[in-house]
Structure 1
């Protein structure tokens, strides 16, 4: 499974808790949006993360 910004953005838009986490990452770490999205991918999706199945489903629909 590879990181795809478009799929990750759709996932964030579908899950309010991911949206809130993205805002928190940007604020706490001072990251720009693209880097914060990538960080969120690695913490919530990659390596059997909580949202891995939802991410894969979106990836298949694309």
Structure 2
């Protein structure tokens, strides 16, 4: 599965828990927003993550 910033951003905007996790990653790891979004993608979407199906649907719609 490929990373798609547009789909990932939309997914984050739809789920408050992902938004909160993004903020946490930025602070704890000291990452800029784009790298934090990629980190969130790999931990919550890729490799059968809990948000994988929703992400794939968003990707298809684009």
**TM-score over 0.5 (shorter chain):** yes
Runs of 4+ in structure 1 deviating by more than 2 angstroms, as ranges, are: none
TM-score, normalization by structure 2: 0.98
Aligned to 2:49: 49
- Where do residues 1-62 of structure 1 align in structure 2 (5 Å cutoff)? 1-62=1-62
| In structure 1, C-alpha distance between the alignment counterparts of 2:20 and 2:51, rounded to whole Å | 15
TM-score, normalization by structure 1: 0.98
Unaligned runs of 5+ in 1: none
Cα RMSD for the two superposed structures: 0.4
